[in-house]
Amino acid sequence: MRSRPRAVRTGRDGHSERARRASEFVISTNGGVSMEEAETRTLFERVGGTAGVERIVEAFYERVEGDLPLRKIYPDDLEPGKAKLKLYLEQWLGGEPRYSELYGHPRLRMRHLPFAIGEHAAGRWLRHMRAAMQASGVGEAEERVIFAQLAPLAHHMVNRHDEGAH
Ligand code: HEM
């Protein structure tokens, strides 16, 4: 039996309250959204498990490849990042914590610092992820809960505020 690491929250480095509330380790399933009481499955199960996450990430990366300003931020080889995002989302949505078993605590903001991410990029990233989820058959209720927490998490990754930033 695997022992599951406890949820760890971001925010020790003095970022906004909204960002602090966005857990990067695992999504909080009540998410402040009511009418979820009867649902006992994890969001990971509700989006279709490993196959569902794979569909989402493939659809997301297709969109990144077609979005020049966003594509420029990513390295030439997209495959390693794609594989990591699959493991990460599986864990974040309440599946097995395989990302952390391989790479340790997500420390997402720190891991994104080498890449220049402005507000526009965060907006485009979120738009593509929403379209990818819709194209992958994620239900409206699941999408609502997920984006209530994914949006602050994406804005938490913004690390460039100069005018030239994408
Ligand atoms: C705000 C816009 C974002 C941009 C522009 C962005 C961009 C990137 C880039 C360029 C990489 C490096 C890929 C590589 O090394 O091949 C990366 C890695 C990653 N991103 Fe993002 N990202 C964003 C938001 C997010 C969000 C919201 C999440 C969480 C759901 C996330 C999860 C990850 C993960 C798990 C990795 C791999 C980290 C590692 O272990 O090295 N990213 N991202």
- Rounded to whole angstroms, the Cα distance separating 129 from 151 reads 10
Atom of ligand 1 nearest to the CA of 88: 35
CATH number at residue 49: 1.10.490.10
Decide if 4 is inside a domain: no
Decide if 41 is inside a domain: yes
Decide if 5 is inside a domain: no
Decide if 2 is inside a domain: no
Decide if 7 is inside a domain: no
Say how many Å lie between the CA of residue 112 and the centre of ligand 1.
6
Atom of ligand 1 nearest to the CA of 74: 10
- What's the structural domain count of the chain? 1
Task: Supply the pLDDT for residue 35.
Answer: 54
Domain hosting residue 74, numbered range: 17-156
Task: Supply the pLDDT for residue 163.
Answer: 59
Task: Supply the pLDDT for residue 39.
Answer: 77
Say how many Å lie between the CA of residue 38 and the centre of ligand 1.
33
**For residue range 99-126, what is the model confidence (pLDDT) as tens digits?**
999 999 999 999 999 999 999 999 999 9
